[in-house]
Amino acid sequence: MNSDNPQVTFIVGEERCLSRIISRAEIEPLLRSLVKAGPVRAAVLDEERLPLCSQGDDRPLEQLREIRHPLLVEGEPQGMLVIAVDPETCSSAEALALLARDALQLTITNNLKRMLTTEMHTTIVQESYDQLVETNQQLVESERRYRELATLLERKVEERTAELKKAYSRMLQQEKLAAVGGLAAGMAHEINNPNGFVRSNLVTLNRYVERMKEMLNLYQLLIARNAPLLQLREETEQRRRALKLEFVVSDSTALLEQSVEGTDRIARIVADLKAFSHVDETGDCDADLNGELERIIAVLTPQIPPETAILRDLQPLPLFGCNPGMLSQAFFNIIQNAIQSRDNGLKINISTARENNDIVITVADNGCGIPELNLTRVFEPFFTTREVGRGTGMGLTVAREIIRNAEGNIEIDSREGFGTTVTIRLPHKQITTDRTTHE
């Protein structure tokens, strides 16, 4: 738009001619007064010696006297004031001419000054305007760049947020895997134990079966031979004793019962582990939190120090709509902390209760406690006081995240050397409205 504006360029010092500095209208009143004061005519000639303005009558010059004064522009004579007087009638002609010249000269100089000032001013205004336009363009450009950057930044933030979300769910997954992995060692022992005696029972039972087969074969042989009853009774009795079948039969029953009990134990452990890991579940459903807690205690059993007292005070709770796999991970982390808080004489109180519309779960131990200095930092990611390799520093971080996702909150109260109490408060919600139809 501004490029269409005609730009006026002034060169400071450009030569100016008289006719452009002073106008006829400015000269005329002066010359008119001059003529009234005596002279016959008065005229101002421009740089080309052409009359710019003239007043008076055109009486022939022969009877008159002419007075000429140059008019200066920047010190240079450019025009001429010409006055014709009748020497008879006008005595003060010289003085009048000088007066008129000075007045004209002053007007010329002042006009020139005004022109130069105006031109200079216009030039400066023009330049300021150009600068403003340029600055404005730069501003528009930088605004555009900033907007681009902002959009880019927004996109980056979105990307990072998505990444973070992914990383977070990966972290939960890893935490879960770590927990299951940590459980595996203890579980292996728990499973190996029954598995071992079941196997040894089976080996023994196999031997017993051989003896029973031998006994049966004897019966079959004697019957096939049509042996007399007396002989049959004597020989079988003898073999029965030799094979200790009395004991074998009664022991078999005991071994079988024991084995069934052993496989049941394995099945229970696997079921607990499976239930704890919630491998089959995805998403939210209604969960029995007391059941979850029991299972967590069960899977943690191998890690519990000997002679530990675990007291449960689990009040009946309504089903709780949540992601049970997640929530059990949170409980697991908290209970595991309690288990690791002391080596002997450990007492853990686990209680659940309903308070108004909230479900409150409390895990209290009489363990080592948390120093006051660390109390504010326990939820920080990677904060751990355990030696390298023993703790990830993520346990409570993850627990808090899970509980916050369930719109609950977690509080830790601890005194160093006396124990720690963790209180979890979850606002109750249920996914299925009618509990009976669910069951």
Partner 1 sequence: MIEFDEQQQRMVLKLVYYGPALSGKTTNLLTLHDQLTLDGRGDLMMLDTTEDRTIYFDLLPFFYVAPSGMKIKLKVYTVPGQVRHDATRKAVLQRADGVVFVADSHAAQMSVNFESFDNLEKNLALVGLSFEQLPLVVQFNKRDLPDIVAENEIRSAWGPTGLPVIMASALKGWGVVETFREVLRLTFDAVNSRHGLTERYGVEREFFLAEILKVQQ
Q: Is there a contact between 93 and 83 (Cβ–Cβ < 8 Å)?
A: yes
Q: Is there a contact between 225 and 340 (Cβ–Cβ < 8 Å)?
A: no
Question: Closest distance between partner 1 and the C-beta of residue 15, in Å?
Answer: 6
Binding of partner 1 by 407 (CB under 8 A): no
Binding of partner 1 by 124 (CB under 8 A): yes
Binding of partner 1 by 123 (CB under 8 A): yes
Nearer to partner 1, 69 or 295 (CB): 69
Q: Which stretch binds partner 1 (CB under 8 A): 74-82, 149-157, 210-218, 414-422?
A: 74-82
Binding of partner 1 by 76 (CB under 8 A): yes
Nearer to partner 1, 112 or 285 (CB): 112
Nearer to partner 1, 12 or 95 (CB): 12
Tally of CB atoms within 10 A around 66: 14
Q: Which stretch binds partner 1 (CB under 8 A): 71-79, 138-146, 258-266, 350-358?
A: 71-79
Short-list 41, 46, 37, 88, CA closest to 67: 41
Tokens of residue 39, six digits: 């002279």
Among 23, 63, 89, 117, binds partner 1 (CB under 8 A): 117
Question: Closest distance between partner 1 and the C-beta of residue 10, in Å?
Answer: 7
| φ and ψ at residue 348, rounded to 5 degrees | -125, 130
| φ and ψ at residue 394, rounded to 5 degrees | -110, -10
Tokens of residue 249, six digits: 């039969």
Among 1, 6, 14, 387, binds partner 1 (CB under 8 A): 14
* Residues in Cβ contact with 430 at an 8 Å cutoff, skipping those fewer than 6 apart: 286, 318, 319, 320, 321
Q: Alpha-carbon distance 219 to 242, whole Å?
A: 15
User: What dihedral do alpha carbons 411, 415, 420, 425 form, nearest 10°?
Assistant: -20
* E strand spans, 337-399: 347-355, 358-365
Among 23, 63, 92, 128, binds partner 1 (CB under 8 A): 128
Among 17, 63, 68, 74, binds partner 1 (CB under 8 A): 74
Binding mask 95-114 for partner 1 (x = CB under 8 A): --------------x--xx-
Binding of partner 1 by 116 (CB under 8 A): yes
Q: Interface residues with partner 1 (CB under 8 A)? A: 10-15, 72, 74-76, 109, 112-113, 116-117, 120, 123-124, 127-128
